[in-house]
Amino acid sequence: MPQSPPKPHLILVDAPPGPGLQDILGALRGVARCSVVTLRWGTQEDQDRRVGQLTALGPVQIVERPDQAIDEVLRIAVRSGPVDGVLALSELVSYHAAVAAAALGLPCNPPVATARLRRKDLQREALRAAGVPCPAFAVVSDEDGLRSAAEDLTFPVVLKPAVGVGSLCVTLVHDLPELVAAFRRANGMYATDPRVIGAPPVFVVEEVIEGDNWHADDRMGTRVSVESLIDDGTVHHLAVTDKLPLAPPFREVGDVMPSGLPEPRLTEIRRATTDALRALGVTRGATHTELMLTAAGPVVVEINGRIGGGVTELLRAAAGYDVVEQLARSALGQPPTGLPRFRGHAFYYTPQPPQGEYEVIEASGEEEIARLPGVLEVVRAKRRGDRLVADEGTISHPFRVLATSDDFGDFFTRLKAIEGAITLELAPLRQPSDPGAR
């Protein structure tokens, strides 16, 4: 009897955040034999638990910093090769996995596209050069650059790191003194946040995009996101996701997939996303594109070289679609085997605290939430005594709820029930006095 060909060898570069570990394990077992490089994170108990589960895929190596993943992938290729693909599912290590794949000559984006997906300054320059609508901006690395930007741009403006995660240090400012204060505070936070260790302290200052609500319901926000798979230059848009209005200054509160917008509007959004991906030179892998809906059309806010946070779970809940398997196939140079077919809606709800810093006095209600119709998962992210810091971005949420709905009317009914079940008591540690707290 002829033997079946061996499975390809895939190196998984693992780090939080990203898809749930069970989603990763279930998807990769059937696609490839794996080696794993994982980033040390959390407590020793957390790390031991994660490594213990990852060993189901293959041998696991631990690195202390994201940049060390590159050398570790190359070491595995030398000692355990040949390697057929490198996969990352977390924004903390997606760039480093792409660099390693390029060094090994494996399926990946061109280096220029990899750099543009990581750095918002290079991304903005490429979009502007291609004529893709995006806000006016300036790139700064010191206070002299801030003053020059203030002369060229119209306030209010947004300050954001060129390399960032989860809305870290993204601040709305209204004048030059606020901009300088925000820059100083962001520099301090950026230098110590483990999510961006090794990234250059370069910032983008850009004008605020005036959003326009394309929905018939004012409870929806003016932003959307698009999840895409790119195979050898062919773009496959998996889903357009609607957003609830952001918590100040730019923290995600809720996502609904698929979008409830009419098809002509969705066509505009997909076309704008494709144009942006072409401008960056993206030819392979996954992207998460955020767009502002305006009276003149969609405007690109940013593009990330990975699937958006929570998208794995949303696609599974709303369409029964395993995007992790498709991402693994892409990393191996294989085309996608199918696209999502939606049978309803799925949504994430991540309530945010007010601006400032708070201590959690009480956070409860997950048992009641779990009993509500449509709720699939409830995670209490913060407990009594934990700190909630709005400047840390979207990760400051105390709860994360995954649920389904039949339609948008049903969505708002279920969202209201979830909101009513949450008990959250906070004690202020520092009142918001920095820019963006208006």
257 neighbors 418 (Cβ within 8 angstroms): no
pLDDT surpasses 60 at 172 = yes
In 174-296, DSSP assigns E strands to 203-207, 223-231, 234-243, 254-257, 285-294
Left if phi > 0, otherwise alpha if psi is -120 to 50, otherwise beta: which for 419? alpha
pLDDT attached to residue 2: 56
- Picking from 73-87, 140-154, 422-436, which range would have the lowest pLDDT averaged per residue? 422-436
329 neighbors 227 (Cβ within 8 angstroms): no
pLDDT attached to residue 193: 64
How do residues 255-302 score in pLDDT, each as one tens digit? 999 999 999 999 999 999 999 999 999 999 999 999 999 999 999 999
283 neighbors 231 (Cβ within 8 angstroms): no
Distance CA 309, CA 192 (A): 23
Within 8 A by CB and 6+ apart from 291, the residues are 223, 224, 225, 226, 269, 272, 273, 298, 299, 300, 301
Distance CA 19, CA 326 (A): 13
Distance CA 58, CA 55 (A): 5
pLDDT attached to residue 355: 85
Type of residue at 342: F
Within 8 A by CB and 6+ apart from 53, the residues are 21, 25
- Split at pLDDT 50, 70, 90, the class of 163 is confident
pLDDT surpasses 90 at 18 = no
Cα separation values, 249 from 157, 289, 435, Å: 12, 19, 9
pLDDT surpasses 70 at 438 = no
Q: What is the mean pLDDT of residues 147-175?
A: 86
pTM above threshold 0.85: yes
φ, ψ (nearest 5 deg) of residue 124: -60, -40
Distance CA 402, CA 383 (A): 19
Share above pLDDT 70 across residues of the chain, in percent, rounded to a whole number = 94
pLDDT attached to residue 195: 60
Q: What is the mean pLDDT of residues 168-175?
A: 84
Cα separation values, 437 from 303, 393, 433, 434, Å: 26, 13, 7, 6
Q: Per 3-state DSSP, what percentage of the chain is helix, strand, and coil (rounded to 5)?
A: 35, 25, 40
Cα separation values, 268 from 235, 297, 417, Å: 15, 7, 33
pLDDT attached to residue 200: 63
Distance CA 245, CA 349 (A): 12
- Split at pLDDT 50, 70, 90, the class of 3 is low
pLDDT attached to residue 435: 44
How do residues 333-375 score in pLDDT, each as one tens digit? 999 999 999 999 999 999 998 888 999 999 999 999 999 999 9
Q: What is the mean pLDDT of residues 156-174?
A: 82
Distance CA 401, CA 348 (A): 6
φ, ψ (nearest 5 deg) of residue 248: -60, 145
Left if phi > 0, otherwise alpha if psi is -120 to 50, otherwise beta: which for 352? beta
Distance CA 293, CA 251 (A): 17
Distance CA 7, CA 333 (A): 14
382-401: b or e for each residue (b if 16 or more CB lie within 10 Å)?
beeeeebbbbbbbbbbbbbb
Domains of the chain and any CATH numbers:
9-108 (3.40.50.20), 136-207 (3.30.1490.20)
pLDDT attached to residue 185: 84
Q: What is the mean pLDDT of residues 103-122?
A: 96
pLDDT attached to residue 434: 45
Distance CA 275, CA 124 (A): 13
Share above pLDDT 90 across residues of the chain, in percent, rounded to a whole number = 74
28 neighbors 57 (Cβ within 8 angstroms): yes
319 neighbors 340 (Cβ within 8 angstroms): yes
Count CB atoms within 10 A of the CB of residue 40.
16
How do residues 200-252 score in pLDDT, each as one tens digit? 678 999 999 999 999 989 899 999 999 999 999 999 999 999 999 988 878 88
Mean pLDDT over the full length of the chain: 91
SS (H, E, C) 300-359: EEEEECCCCCCHHHHHHHHHCCCHHHHHHHHHCCCCCCCCCCCCCEEEEECCCCCCCEEE
